[in-house]
Amino acid sequence: MQLARPVGREAASRKYDILSALMAFGLSQDKHVQRQVLRVMALITTRYNWQRDELTMGQGEIARLWSVDERTVKREMARLRARGWLVLKRQGARGRVSTYGMDLNRMLDDTRPAWPLIGEDFMARLDPAAAAGQGGSNVVPLRAVPVPMADGSVWAAAQAWLHAEDPATYGAWFHALSDAGLEANALTLAAPTRFHASYVATNLKEKLLSALRRVDPSVRDVRIVG
């Protein structure tokens, strides 16, 4: 999706939406990613010029804001550039600091798997075309996902249970999982990304295992790999 720069009458709500997406994504991750997201949010809320897409701030100032040393700032800014969230617009020269831009669309794409944690209204607001069934991203399905086809496997039968219980959660998290084999009473499911696998394993494993045991009580564990 391409987000219009948050200026004009709806600027305030758009800014909150971007920050909300970052917050939900960060809270769903490990402590290292959480810290990185918090640092980005600190830059955005204190010094980022939304209208001009400019962040002009020296490493010393950033170090004070983040309560770290300048070497840490240098490493973290490099990681954010590599991630695509931070874009170097003008290299600093003698007596002048570097100017960066923020790739807000990249941030939203990367945080999209966490949108369901905020709510369906949030998802529909940020991607109304997908919510209306007119296309959009295929990462978080906002339109109805069809009932899984029965093929005689344990996973297909469990999918039907999960879909019947909570179609929204099924569409966002379970639909994309694929059967990677059942061995020693443990089912392995493959997720499309490491984040997807990590989120399901951390937050939805019990729900997943419960559905599997309804279908086959001999299933003792479920593993999610990305």
Q: Which of 41, 100, 87, 30 is nearest to 66 (CA)?
A: 41
197 found inside a domain:
yes
Residue 113 CA neighbour count, 13 Å, CB half: 20
Q: What is the pLDDT of residue 140?
A: 44
| Buried residues in 18-51 as b, exposed as e (16+ CB within 10 A) | bebbbbbbbebbeeeeeebbebbbebbeeebebe
Contact 224, 177 (CB under 8 A): yes
Q: What is the pLDDT of residues 61-75, one digit of tens each?
A: 999 999 999 999 999
Q: What is the pLDDT of residue 196?
A: 82
Domain containing 189 equals 144-225
- Answer with the one of 110, 126, 157 that is the final residue of a domain: 110
- Answer with the one of 110, 132, 154 that is the final residue of a domain: 110
- If you ran DSSP here, which 8-state letter would residue 147 be given? P
Residues 180, 105 share a domain: no
- Residue 158's contacts (CB-CB under 8 Å, 6 or more residues apart) are 208, 211, 212, 214, 215
Q: Which of 12, 149, 8, 18 is nearest to 85 (CA)?
A: 18
| Range among 95-109, 124-138, 154-168 rated most confident | 95-109
Rounded to an integer, what distance in angstroms lies between the CA atom of residue 130 and that of residue 195?
Answer: 22
Q: What is the pLDDT of residues 147-169, one digit of tens each?
A: 666 677 888 888 888 888 877 77
Residues 104, 15 share a domain: yes
- What pTM value is reported for the model? 0.57
CATH number assigned to the domain comprising residue 159: 3.30.300.180
CATH number assigned to the domain comprising residue 85: 1.10.10.10
Residues 148, 97 share a domain: no
Residue range 191-219: mean pLDDT, rounded: 86
- Per the structure, the count of domains in the chain is 2
